[in-house]
A = this chain, B = another copy of it.
Amino acid sequence: MAIPTIADVRKALIARPGKPFVLKDLSTEDKALFPNKEEAETSLKKDAACINELKDKLYAEGKRALLVVLQGMDTAGKSGTIKSVFKDTTPLGMEVKAFKAPSSEELARDYLWRVHNAVPRRGHVGIFDRSHYEDVLVAKVRSLAPAADIEQRYDQINAFEKHLTENGYVIVKCMLNIGHEEQGVRLKERLQEEHKLWKFNPGDLDDRALWPQFMDAYETAINRCSTKHAPWHIIPADSRTRRNAMIARLVRGALEEMDLKWKDPGHDPGSYEI
């Protein structure tokens, strides 16, 4: 047993751009990458430390930015992922944006207005806890916009993400794929544990009742918006430990590919007397 390479993790989890994607073909409890839970923990530990160092280099360079997009049903582990994958990362240079129901100010402009506004500064790592994909997920399932408008959004989102990647942004998109049964278990936990109860929202049950419709909307969004410049990765999310380990591999991989170097300040440190 060994920790799977970043290339292997990517290959296993990516929704290949241009290839038909079927969500129900994927197991939410797939353990193929990390059969052994302890190995997932070891991998996460190493990657989390590495991510911290790479993020410092990104900050020092100050020219590019990493944007991690996390999507998933309630309890899929978006917050848990942030806490784990970035557990060694100081908040300096980190921007986490949790997208809630749009405010009246936000509704008064196009749906990408608040999203574009929230992109991280150059040198930073931005995390979207939910994102513009809500505008083709919940907006579609609950008919919050005309169907013809939603149909146009996939191409608009692709153009927006392409624009960002052409302007110094690297985008890592992860769909946290939790099973219906496991969600039931986690929602019950929320009702039973004091430190989780605050997260429970009766509205979560309304979304749970629309599970097949949400899965259809996810499948369409991934089919339409897994692109070469910003592909989707589908993370089996029934196991928290493995989910964290897989996403950490992807985030580390994205940062490593940026080929970050400590910035050369352009002067000779030996020339100073202090």
How far, in angstroms, from A11 to B123 measured CA to CA in the complex? 47
Binary interface encoding of chain A residues 97-124 relative to chain B, with 1 for a CB under 8 A from any of its CBs, else 0: 0000000000011111100110111110
**CB-based contact B116/A169 at 8 Å:** no
Distance in Å from the Cβ of A122 to the closest Cβ of chain B? 5
Query: Can you offer 13 A-B residue contacts whose CB atoms are under 8 A?
Result: A109-B120, A110-B119, A110-B163, A110-B164, A112-B167, A116-B116, A116-B117, A117-B117, A149-B166, A149-B167, A152-B166, A156-B167, A160-B163
Distance in Å from the Cβ of A62 to the closest Cβ of chain B? 8
Additional pairs, 17, CB under 8 Å, beyond known A110-B164, A110-B168, A156-B167: A108-B121, A108-B122, A108-B123, A109-B119, A109-B120, A109-B121, A110-B163, A110-B167, A112-B116, A112-B167, A116-B117, A149-B166, A149-B167, A156-B163, A159-B159, A159-B163, A160-B163
- Chain A residues engaging chain B, CB cutoff 8 angstroms: 108-113, 116-117, 119-123, 149, 152, 156, 159-160, 162-164, 166-169
Stoichiometry (number of copies): 2
- The 6 A-B pairs of least Cβ separation, nearest first, read A110-B167, A159-B159, A108-B121, A116-B116, A156-B163, A108-B122
Chain B hits for A152, CB < 8 A: 166
Chain B hits for A160, CB < 8 A: 159, 163
